[in-house]
Amino acid sequence: MHFFTSIAANYLPKARVLANSIKKHNPGIVFHLVLLDKVPEGFFIDDEPFDSLILPKDLGISDIDSWTFKHSVVELCTAIKGHAFIKIFEATGADKLVYFDPDIVVLSNLEELSNILNMSSIVLIPHQVVPDDDDGAIVDNEICSLKHGIYNLGFLAIKKNREGMKFLHWWRDRLLKFCYDDIPNGLFTDQRWVDLAPAFFDDIFILRDKTYNVATWNLTHRDVRSQDNGVLSIEGSPVKFFHFSGFDSGDQEVMLKKYADKNSALFKLRKWYVRELDRQGQKELGRTPSQYSFYSNGELITNAHRILYRSRNDLIEAFPYPAVVTENEPCYFYWLKNTYPIQFFGKDQIISASEEQLMEVLNSRSWKLTLPLRLLAKFIRKCRSAVQHFL
């Protein structure tokens, strides 16, 4: 079987841990790395646990400069997944392909998954497979699933046949135009789209085995134990893979303390994971900014900049290379700065302004007109911690 993950450069240590864990338990598999970023200094594919490196330019997306600008880093790494599935199928001749989020660790052999793909075209895993009883757990788990998606798209397995490819082309096309973190409008990157998949496509296998995709959002019904040989198990069966979703934000540790026994083997697994990340370069690479986070002059691209750009076709047509800043010809950066000088670029100016100057800004027509956009940006910031829980 073939596997892949999709990352920005700061997730390279996690991808290394993932790839090593898959290969340890599944000899002979092929692992592909899709890197939505510049290649880090000192990266040589022959020295890595990856069998191939796929870059944005390899995926055949038209208007890629404009397309990447519309997305945050998280949105981008999920929006590319449909294209990557199809590219890898076409380039390798593989008949089975599995996507894993980079913050997953495989703990057992996955031959059973290959057997499932022998019988089915598409394999999905729900966030939860048993209803919760406690109101707090219902809010943390089931209501979050209603917001973010029933199925966790940290995992997706596809067989290259008629129905599998039919699904992939549909999903790829939706992600091309509508892969945003926009919960109020019914979107959460690539996940919410797949809620529709069982209605649109046949031959889907819903994998309800509790040993797959163990994570903090389903620990209320998954008692993970350590056997004498150190193997983690649930109800006597080895855990297939564990998902460290929300690790960087701290949410994973918070929810682990809430839903796992303090002596749980999962805390030992977390300590091991921290050590492995450090061994794979977390301290050096973990805070590496994405190349898509900045304009060509080094200025930060904010979510507000992206949302405004993607919401207006006139801006998309006028500025096909929105991240490129030029002095002698029109560019998005200077258009934005001249049109919204304080709202989008002048935070420091507002802080240091006099009360009279501040009131002039707050009473201005442009400030009032952009109120909905600023409220949306504020809402997105508040949702980020909850979002990380389900990535």
Q: Is residue 388 part of a domain?
A: no
SS (H, E, C) 275-315: HHHHHCCHHHHCCCCCHHHECCCCCECCHHHHHHHHCCHHH
Query: Is the same domain home to 280 and 322?
Result: no
Answer yes or no: is pLDDT of 171 > 70. yes
389 in any annotated domain: no
- For residue 184, tell me if it sits in a domain: yes
pLDDT at 158 > cutoff 80? yes
Global pTM value: 0.86
Residue ending a domain, among 267, 287, 307, is 287
Final residue of a structural domain among 287, 319, 334: 287
- Do 279 and 345 belong to one domain? no
CA 86 to centroid of chain Cα atoms: 18
The two tokens of residue 195 are 């809620």
Domain that holds residue 329: 294-383
Q: Is the pLDDT of residue 360 over 70?
A: no
Co-location of 228 and 299 in the same domain: no
Q: Within this chain, do residues 91 and 174 fall inside the same structural domain, yes or no?
A: yes
Looking at the structure, tell me whether residues 133 and 162 fall in a common domain.
yes
One domain for residues 271 and 124: yes
Confidence of residue 387 (pLDDT cuts 50, 70, 90): low
Is there a single domain that holds both residue 282 and residue 218?
A: yes
Domains in the chain, number: 2
Is residue 63 situated within a structural domain?
yes
- Digit-coded pLDDT (tens) for 179-215: 999 999 999 999 999 999 999 999 999 999 999 999 9
Name the strand (E) or helix (H) holding 98. Answer: strand 96-100
Q: Is residue 391 part of a domain?
A: no
Q: What pLDDT does residue 355 have?
A: 42
Amino acid at 340: Y
* Chain center to CA of 105: 16
Q: Looking at the structure, tell me whether residues 156 and 48 fall in a common domain.
A: yes
Task: Count CB-CB contacts under 10 A for residue 27.
Answer: 8
pLDDT given for residue 372 in this prediction: 66
In a domain, 135, yes or no: yes
Residues 244 and 309 placed together within one structural domain of the fold: no
Residue 351 has pLDDT above 80, yes or no: no
For residue 363, the model assigns a pLDDT of 53
Burial (0-12, 13-18, 19+ Cβ within 10 Å), 132:
middle
CATH code, domain carrying 18: 3.90.550.10
Give which of 307, 367, 309 is closest to 343, Cα–Cα.
367
Beta bridge partners of 54: 34
- Residue 359 confidence class, pLDDT cut points 50, 70, 90: very low
pLDDT of residue 358: 41
246/330 same-domain check: no
Domain limit, last residue, from 246, 267, 287: 287
User: How confident is the prediction for the chain on average, in pLDDT?
Assistant: 89
DSSP one-letter code for 8: -
> Is 162 within the bounds of a domain?
yes
Residue 241 lies in a domain: yes
- Quote the CA–CA distance of 369 and 361 in Å, as a whole number: 12
User: What's the pLDDT tens digit per position in 121-155?
Assistant: 999 999 999 999 999 999 999 999 999 999 999 99
Q: Are residues 339 and 241 in the same domain?
A: no
Q: What's the Rg (C-alpha) of the chain?
A: 22
Q: What are phi and psi of 265, to 5 degrees?
A: -60, -20
Q: What are 101's two structure tokens?
A: 């989020």
How far out from the chain centre does Cα 14 lie?
13
Distance between CA 137 and CA 140 in Å, rounded?
Answer: 5
Indicate whether 270 and 303 sit together in one domain.
no
More confident residue, 329 or 3: 3
